[in-house]
Amino acid sequence: MNVTLAVKQYISKMIESSGPGMKVLLMDKETTSIVSVVYTQSEILQKEVYLFERIDSKNRDNMKHLKAICFLRPTKVKHLIQELRRPKYSVYFIYFSNVISKSEIKALAEADEQEVVAEVQQIITKEYELFDFRKTEVPPLLLILDRSDDAITPLLNQWTYQAMVHELLGLNNNRIDLSRVPGISKDLREVVLSAENDEFYANNLYLNFGEIGTNIKNLMEDFQKKKPKDKQKLESITDMKAFVDNYPQFKKMSGTVSKHVTVVGELSRLVSERQLMEVSEVEQELACQNDHSSAQQNLRRLLQNPRLSEIDAVRLVMLYALRYEKHSSSILPSLMEELNRKGVLERNRKMIQAVVEYGGKRIRGSELVAPTDAVAITKQFFKGLKGVENVYTQHQPLLHDTLDQLIKGRLKDSQFPYVGPSSLRDR
């Protein structure tokens, strides 16, 4: 069973067992994060939960008309004892995520002088089977990897919807802060992106950036078919945003689409502002091709562009340092000088040497960029003949090949030693 689903079911049981009426959830930092991940705010409100509160918060108001559900780790018993000595709510339903001792239960009982505790449970240990994994005919295999084997992949710009939101906007507890977006309306300063409650996001989070805009446009055109009058051209993200503003009934009918138009519009603005198309093209050339002359020329040209951001400049030189670390004609020293002239902070310039020390040739166990055996060279040759669907998605992470070799039972024992009764090939 999915662990997130399991936690969600537990929290639902907690809320239902406390009976009808508005409630408050008292939690510590860890359990607050758990609930924020498995439930959206609207879902919690539907269950008559009035608000979340940290039990160690010192500025909570007295709300005797509310029931409190306490979901805590056993390490937070002392906070609960202090709470019960001066209760702020009418009734307390207490749930611990693990075993608590008899002495702690006694301390809780002694603190409950006003007899506000209605229930105490240890829910996770009581229902331990919820976290049992499905039994399979073939024993599971644990693959342990080292990030330093592939330091290149995390440095590349990604072009799928979910990855771009994480990279360019930031996603925290399924929420995006858009308050700094120029001209943003009040109701869109913070938006929620959750695949569980947003069908469009669920269907598009792994699609590339170009497809997202097309899919939003299709939704709008479907709406326009119902409004044959005043048809409006939808040729760009700007057109789409204007369409949403001009048709309030569309916004009301499909708030999800207006949200995604705003998010995609901001992504588009950042891509243009930071010139990420040009940046990504050079990144892919550094990561996938073997033409040092072309790579260093394109990299120099891009570094001299005043619109190139500091972080993008540093990442490009990092990629060059990893890719051409041992090349006889390496221009890394002059690239470092270029960053210095560009005004890049010293601590950021130092990261370039740090990433080589972390994931350079001397460290990594796998050959990351240059095939050495005849079979690998032939495979790369045919891949080049076939071409790629998108110049910005040429790179394939090392993990892809590792998993492919694992499935075929061809992982080298020297690189991936294993333990267990049966051979790796049988698994």
User: Within a 10 A sphere around the Cβ of 84, how many other Cβ atoms?
Assistant: 22
Q: What share of the chain has pLDDT > 90, as a percent?
A: 34
Q: Read off the pLDDT of residues 260-291 as tens digits, 9 standing for 90 and up.
A: 888 999 999 999 999 999 999 999 999 988 89
Provide CB contacts within 8 A for 60, sequence distance 6+: 53, 88
Task: Measure CA 261 to chain center.
Answer: 20
Degrees, nearest 5: CA angle 42-43-46: 85
3-state SS, residue 87:
coil
Rounded distance, CA 303 to CA 295, Å?
A: 12
The first and second tokens of residue 332, run together, are 């890394």
CA-CA distance, 202 to 345, in Å (whole number)? 39
DSSP H or E segment with residue 2: none
pLDDT, residue 227, reads 56
Is pLDDT at 2 greater than 70 in this prediction? Answer: no
Q: Is the pLDDT of residue 128 over 70?
A: no
Lowest-confidence region among 110-114, 192-196, 222-226: 222-226
Under the banding of pLDDT at 50, 70 and 90, the label for residue 47 is confident
**Is the model's pLDDT at 106 over the cut of 60?**
yes
At residue 291, the 3 state secondary structure works out as: coil
102 has a pLDDT exceeding 80: yes
- The stretch 173-180 carries a mean pLDDT of 89
Measured distance CA(164)–CA(267) in Å, rounded: 7
Give the separation between CA 88 and CA 314, rounded to whole angstroms: 52
Beta-sheet pairing, 190-192 with 175-177: antiparallel
Is it the case that residue 367 has pLDDT exceeding 50? yes
Model confidence band, residue 75 (pLDDT cutoffs 50, 70, 90): confident
Residues 99/74, Cβ–Cβ less than 8 Å: yes
Average pLDDT for residues 398-405, to the nearest whole number? 90
Task: Please write the tens of the pLDDT for every residue from 237-252.
Answer: 677 666 666 655 555 5
Amino acid (1-letter code) at residue 337: E
Averaged pLDDT for residues 302-328: 94
- Please provide the DSSP assignment of 120-135 as one string: EEEHHHHTGGGGPPPP
Mean pLDDT of 350-373: 78
Q: How confident is the model at residue 164 (pLDDT cuts 50, 70, 90)?
A: very high
330 — phi, psi (to 5°)? -60, 135
**Confidence bin at 15 (pLDDT 50/70/90):** confident
Helices (H), 289-331: 292-303, 310-323
Mean of the per-residue pLDDT values of the chain: 81
Q: What are the residue ranges of helices labelled H in 150-254?
A: 161-164, 199-204, 209-225, 237-246, 248-253
Q: Give every CB contact of residue 151 below 8 A, 6+ residues apart in sequence.
A: 322, 355, 358, 359, 360, 364
Choice between 299 and 380, residue whose per-residue pLDDT is larger:
299
| Cα–Cα distance measured from residue 362 to residue 365, given in angstroms and rounded to the nearest whole number | 8
Q: What is the pTM of this model?
A: 0.62
- Six token digits for residue 138: 């073939």
| pLDDT at residue 382 in the model | 38
Instruction: Check residue 346 and give its pLDDT.
Output: 95
Which segment of 41-45, 98-102, 112-116, 351-355 scores lowest on mean pLDDT? 41-45
Single out the residue of 339, 257, 345, 252 nearest to residue 304, CA to CA: 339
Per-residue pLDDT at 1 exceeds 60? no
